[in-house]
A = this chain, B = another copy of it.
Amino acid sequence: MEGNGIQVAKLEEKKLKQYEDEVSHLALDIGGSLIKVVYFSSSSCCSSDDEQHGFLKDGIDASSGNLNYRVLTGRLHFLKFETSKISECIKFLSSKRLQHYGHQDGEAPASEKRIVKATGGGAFKFADLFKEKLGIVLDKVDEMRSLVAGANFLLKAVQHEAFTYMDGQKEYVQIDHRDLYPYLLVNIGSGVSMIKVDGDNEFQRISGTSVGGGTFGGLGKLLTKCKSFDELLELSRQGNNRVIDMLVGDIYGGMDYSKIGLSSTAIASSFGKAISENKELEDYRAEDIARSLLRMISNNIGQIAYLNALRFGLKRIFFGGFFIRGHAYTMDTISVAVNFWSKGEAKALFLHHEGFLGALGAFLSYEKNAFTDFTHQFMEQHSSKSESSCSTGNGFESLTCDDVKDSGFIECRVQVRN
């Protein structure tokens, strides 16, 4: 769909050589359209601050006093590849020897049975391929469980993870950990899952819709000949949905239908003008088509999400998944939809690491095996540190949270079993 992940991967390639043997642990989320990769690397090579960034080779977890564990400080990396180009992902993992950093099965010789946590349907579909090409066994983690674990982790551990977006204004939301549950998690990948989250590992997939990111990308490609999802999003920035959408005012002769609260500019029928206009597909600007499509889908998801939140009395709705990509108009439309249908009672919340919930959740599932107290360490670090604890980056350049769209890293400290 787009090569952003690949570009980042290439950037990483040069730098990784400096400390590739310090990379440890890797998890995958193989969805219908994208493969999301999360891996941890120590980053002593890149920092002058041993306390913050150093690789404490023989560090002992002082808080637990447990000699069986070492504390590593480093970076959690986020990459993505297109599922249809899975060979690129495999090539990358192979060239980086990342497959060596999964968990090693205690019963098998190291070279024989490397286990990598993986979620998403592709963990089933491509299990044989990964075994054959990389010699690794994908240890399947339930998709919904991973999404929830990833979201819970981010909401608790990362400062400035959640925010609202309305009229172009981003506003960070501080989440009180004691008042996080229940909430609705809406993960917009190719399709959309809506999950009621009641606790650390308590959740239920209550709804979903097939009108998601795959619909935007698929219909968008057919209608505009755009080659990539990001190109489509870019086009939509320049578009005007009123060219193709039938507005209330188009039906009511420019008037509002105020009795039922519909303004003349409200969309009565998405793509409705195309029926009667004497135009072919080629007569419409790709920008306008992309805009109408984005608005139709974002609005629809916002509406269905709100109805489900209402059904279960959930006050907070978090939207994640790779559909959003920090795109202003997408977030704005979802926010407006939730605001409109809830009559201002509910607000849409977005997540910085929106696309990596599942991969992160799978990564965290190593906890019982290799990492212990991982979440705790993460949380400790982030809650005790200043805002810079959330400093993230694209490649190896230090950037603020705001700059990170879909790939990058989080600086963190983990505790690993010796």
Contacts and interface: CB of A to CB of B under 8 A. Distances in A.
Interface of A: 1, 31-33, 82-84, 120-122, 124-127, 142-144, 189-191, 205, 207, 209-215, 217-219, 221-223, 225, 229, 244-246, 248, 250-255, 257, 259-260, 267-277, 280-281, 284, 289, 296, 299-300, 303-304, 307-308, 310-311, 341
A222 B244 CA distance: 11
* Number of copies of this chain that the complex holds: 2
22 contacts: A1-B275, A32-B246, A32-B272, A33-B269, A121-B257, A122-B251, A125-B251, A143-B257, A144-B260, A190-B272, A209-B303, A210-B270, A211-B270, A212-B270, A213-B269, A218-B275, A219-B271, A223-B281, A225-B280, A225-B281, A300-B300, A304-B307
Nearest to A33: B275
Contacts of A229: 275
A279 to B, nearest CB: 9
* Best-buried of A125, A126, A251, A307 by chain B (most CB within 10 Å): A251
Nearest to A251: B121
Given A211-B296, A276-B84, A308-B307, A269 B219 contact: no
Nearest to A250: B32
Contact of A275 (B214, B223, B280, B307): B214
Given A125-B251, A253-B124, A276-B84, A268 B218 contact: no
B269 A215 contact: yes
A132 to B, nearest CB: 14
Contact of A251 (B32, B251, B270): B32
* Best-buried of A213, A221, A341 by chain B (most CB within 10 Å): A221
